[in-house]
Amino acid sequence: MARWARPALSAFRPWGPAGWRSLYTEVTDVLGEGHQGPSPGRTDMVATSLWGVKKAPCAVELAVLNSGITGGRRPISFSASASSIFGSGGNSKKEKLLLQDIAELIQARACQRVVVMVGAGISTPSGIPDFRSPRSGLYSNLQQYDLPYPEAIFELTFFSHNPKPFFTLAKELYLRSYRPNVIHYFLRLLHDKGLLLRLYTQNIDGLERVSGIPASKLVEAHGSFASATCTVCRRPFPGKDIWADVTVDRIPRCPVCTGVVKPDIVFFGEALPQRFLMHVVDFPMADLLLILGTSLEVEPFASLSEAVQSSVPRLLINRDLVGPFAWRPRSRDVVQLGDVVHGVERLVELLGWTEELQDLIQQETEKLNRRDR
Ligand SMILES: [Zn+2]
């Protein structure tokens, strides 16, 4: 039996002002002029490393980041109805919120800057196994490659020595053409109604895009197959360029320097995508945080759940009670435990969106049928 040794993770890549400037342009595009964005001077504190680090260390850094970078800390001005529900303005009445209350807040548009965080639990209903789980069937398909441990597939050193297992996994994902499920389409509906501020996903299956949510509303924290980069000359390529090779088990090569072209999936120790830094603007602005299908174990993603203001309701729909919901609950937390699909369907029902969601799913399914024909 192989010993599953988790690789040591180190890279905390500092961010220079240049990185911020380009991100800042994007942020101001989204928010409009006059928004006080993050200060470029503080960006060297940003920790953007990845995957598999369990819990805490980044919590502190993110707290520093959120108090530091947001600087002036503009208070969020809630609508009158939201203020009364949130109990701001000295109202000390702290009633426990229920799922019904969250639905009412959304219906009343007292919450209209919803930030969503999702993980593998929203993709398993689409038939996609959790990549990081050594028990998932995916890894057993890769035994022929003698992976020293499952996570090696997402390690740069292993990849540079043998990129085959990773591309086998990529091919599997591509050929099976997985489809979004009711959870993805619920998020799409949230966007269609103008309520989605941003969707932060840890998934690399791209189903959020397939569901029709525009890339501008997404932060794919662990990267995606939508783009690729030459590992030698760093030349960027559209993600679709690799599939002709990958589907016939050929390693995609750069036409300029013949280096291996790697999809922009974030490997262990690699920096998170630049867009991840949007969290410093998004989370303080959020008026509702939805967390769906994630164990909140991977940093720095996990600590984001604490980056919304303390008066902001947080709704966790997940199989288990996880992360800060377990060890540092807040008075405005709502927890819907059990099957994630059922939890989301329950919320949709309380919102009165069931029929609308069914129509959307039907319409999008027909579109995908035409695509796959
Ligand atoms: Zn190249």
CATH of the domain at 152: 3.30.1600.10
> Left, alpha or beta for 97 (phi > 0: left; psi -120 to 50: alpha)?
beta
Please tell me whether residues 189 and 332 are part of one structural domain.
Answer: yes
254 labelled binding-site residue: yes
pLDDT of residue 2: 36
257 labelled binding-site residue: yes
Q: Is the pLDDT of residue 306 over 70?
A: yes
CATH of the domain at 290: 3.40.50.1220
For residues 178-190, give the mean pLDDT.
Answer: 97
Distance between CA atoms of residues 66 and 38, nearest Å: 9
| Residues 300/58, Cβ–Cβ less than 8 Å | yes
Name the percent of the chain lying above pLDDT 70. 71
Range of the structural domain that residue 103 is part of: 96-126+180-222+275-372
pLDDT of residue 94: 55
The count of domains in the chain is 2
Q: Is the pLDDT of residue 89 over 60?
A: no
- Residue, of 77 and 272, whose pLDDT is higher: 272
For residues 309-320, give the mean pLDDT.
Answer: 95
- CA of 165 from ligand 1 middle (Å) equals 21
Please tell me whether residues 211 and 296 are part of one structural domain.
Answer: yes
Closest-CA residue to 51 (of 2, 21, 99, 10): 10
Kindly give the interhelix angle for 340-351 and 182-192, rounded to the nearest 10 degrees.
30
Please tell me whether residues 334 and 216 are part of one structural domain.
Answer: yes
For residues 148-161, give the mean pLDDT.
Answer: 88
Please tell me whether residues 313 and 368 are part of one structural domain.
Answer: yes
Residue 327 lies in a domain: yes
- CA of 239 from ligand 1 middle (Å) equals 15
- CA of 236 from ligand 1 middle (Å) equals 9
Please tell me whether residues 170 and 285 are part of one structural domain.
Answer: no
Residue 164 lies in a domain: yes
- CA of 229 from ligand 1 middle (Å) equals 8
> Which of 139-153, 207-221, 347-361 has the lowest average pLDDT?
139-153
Distance between CA atoms of residues 200 and 37, nearest Å: 19
Residue 78 lies in a domain: no
Please tell me whether residues 203 and 341 are part of one structural domain.
Answer: yes
Q: In whole angstroms, how large is the CA radius of gyration of the chain?
A: 21
pLDDT of residue 151: 80
- CA of 260 from ligand 1 middle (Å) equals 7
SS (H, E, C) 67-81: HHHCCCCCCCCCCHH
Q: Mean pLDDT over all residues of the chain?
A: 78
Residue 141: pLDDT band (50, 70, 90) is low
pLDDT of residue 317: 97
pLDDT of residue 134: 58
Please tell me whether residues 200 and 281 are part of one structural domain.
Answer: yes
Distance between CA atoms of residues 157 and 267, nearest Å: 10
In angstroms, what CA-CA distances link 253 with 25, 157, 225, 234, 299? 32, 18, 16, 12, 32
Please tell me whether residues 213 and 279 are part of one structural domain.
Answer: yes
Last residue of a domain, one of 265, 285, 317: 265
| Residues 348/357, Cβ–Cβ less than 8 Å | yes
Please tell me whether residues 146 and 279 are part of one structural domain.
Answer: no
* pLDDT per position as a tens digit, 235-279: 999 999 999 999 999 999 999 999 999 999 999 889 899 999 999
Residue 75 lies in a domain: no
230 labelled binding-site residue: yes
* pLDDT per position as a tens digit, 23-47: 444 444 444 433 333 333 333 233 3
Dmax over CA atoms of the chain, in Å, equals 65
Distance between CA atoms of residues 48 and 15, nearest Å: 9
Residue 137: pLDDT band (50, 70, 90) is low
Residue 48 lies in a domain: no
> Which of 42-51, 91-100, 189-198 has the lowest average pLDDT?
42-51
* pLDDT per position as a tens digit, 327-342: 899 999 999 999 999 9
Please tell me whether residues 306 and 187 are part of one structural domain.
Answer: yes
For residues 199-218, give the mean pLDDT.
Answer: 96
Please tell me whether residues 331 and 347 are part of one structural domain.
Answer: yes
Please tell me whether residues 249 and 348 are part of one structural domain.
Answer: no
Which pair of structure tokens corresponds to residue 109?
Answer: 């548009």
Give the DSSP letter string of 136-180. SHHHHTTGGG--SSGGGGG-HHHHHH--HHHHHHHHHHHHTT---
pLDDT of residue 140: 63
Q: Is the pLDDT of residue 69 over 60?
A: no
pLDDT of residue 131: 63
For residues 136-149, give the mean pLDDT.
Answer: 69
Residue 51 lies in a domain: no
| CB count in 10 Å sphere of residue 228 | 23
- Residue, of 290 and 83, whose pLDDT is higher: 290
Residue 210 lies in a domain: yes
Active site members: 222
Distance between CA atoms of residues 26 and 30, nearest Å: 6
Strands 314-318 and 333-337: what pairing? parallel
Kindly give the interhelix angle for 182-192 and 354-372, rounded to the nearest 10 degrees.
110
Last residue of a domain, one of 213, 246, 265: 265
From the centroid of its chain, how far is CA 306? 15
